[in-house]
Structures are given as structure tokens and as C-alpha cells.
Structure 1
Amino acid sequence: MPATPLTAEVLAALERIGCPVTTTDLMRLLNRDRPTPLVVDQVYRAVDALRARGAVRRLKAASNKRVRYWEVATGPHTCSCGASQQGAS
């Protein structure tokens, strides 16, 4: 499956951030200076497509099982935000 402009933009944003981030926070970052704002479902579909390709990892917060974080899959998990790597999904 080829990368779409949105998946490429999402991956670039996650690489810039360098720490796990929620879908909502990622959407807010991507909507800066965007004439037509994205909705959270668009961002989730793009990041989930990247997860399916192995480009990003999905993490969960230890304190709240409903909160999901995303990070670039390359390199070790080194952020101390409280998220932990989730098993294969």
C-alpha cells in the first residue's frame, strides 16, 4: 500500500515530536496553519495504517488503559511519559 500525503505527514510529525503522543494531540499539531482542519478519525486512520506497515508503535498509558499513544517504531522506546509498549494488536 503506497503512502498517502497524510500518512507521510503524520509520520514526519511523529519523527519531529520524538516522544509518544495521543491521536488528539497529533491532530492538534497537524492542524496548526492548516486551512481545512483534520478530524481525529482522519488522523487515527493514517496512524493506524502506519502501524499496520510497522512504521509506528501503539502504546498504552499505565494509568488509563483507554488512552493510546503513538511513536515511531525505529529505535528503542526511551521516553519517560508513562506509556508502555502494547503487545501486538
Structure 2
Amino acid sequence: MPATPLTTEVLRALERIGCPVSTPDLMRWLNRDRSTPLVVDQVYRALDALRARGEVQRLKATHNKRIRYWTISGASDGCRCGARQLGAS
């Protein structure tokens, strides 16, 4: 699956942020300078496509099992936000 402009932008944003981030928080970060804001479904689909390609991984918060975070695959766990890797998620 080829990269789209949005998947490329999402991947670059995750690299810049450098810490696991939730889908809504990533959407807000991406919308900072946009004239036409993204909706959460667009960001989630881009993240899911990146996960299918193995470029990002989904994490689960230890304090709330319903919250999911996203990070670059293979990124070191230098952040202390309470997220942990979910096996093969």
C-alpha cells in the first residue's frame, strides 16, 4: 500500500512528538495550522494503515484499558505516559 499525503504527515507528526499519543490528541496536533480540520476518523484510518505496514504500533494505557496510544514502531520507551505495548496489536 503506497503512502498517502496524510499517512506521511501522520508519521512525521509522530516522529516530531516523540512520545505515545492518542488519536484525538494527534488530530488536535495536526489541526493546529490547518484551514480545513481533520476529523478523528481520518487520523485513525491513517494510523491503522501505518500499523498494517508495520510503521507504527498501538499501545494500551495501564490506567485505562479503553485508551489507546500510537507510537513509531521500535521507538524506545523514553516517555513515562503510562502506555505499554500490546503484543501484536
Q: TM-score range by the shorter chain?
A: over 0.9
The residue aligned with 1:40 is 40
Determine the C-alpha separation between the residues in 2 that align with 1:82 and 1:57: 15
TM-score, scaled relative to structure 1: 0.96
Instruction: Provide the rounded CA distance (Å) in 2 between the counterparts of 1:18 and 1:83.
Output: 13
1:74 counterpart letter in structure 2: G
TM-score, normalisation: structure 2: 0.96
Which residue is 2:73 aligned to?
73
Residues paired across the two proteins, number: 89
- Matched with 1:11 is 11
How far apart are 1:52 and its partner, in Å? 0.7
Alpha-carbon separation, structure 1, partners of 2:31 and 2:17: 15
For residues 51 and 74 of structure 1, the distance between their equivalents in structure 2, rounded to whole angstroms, comes to 12
Structure 1 residue ranges without an equivalent (≥5):
none
Structure 2: tracts of 5 or more residues without a match = none
- Superposition RMSD in Å: 0.9
Identity of aligned residues (%): 74
Q: Quote the Cα distance in structure 2 between the aligned partners of 1:26 and 1:75.
A: 17
Q: Which amino acid aligns with 2:13?
A: A
State the secondary structure of the residue aligned to 1:21: coil
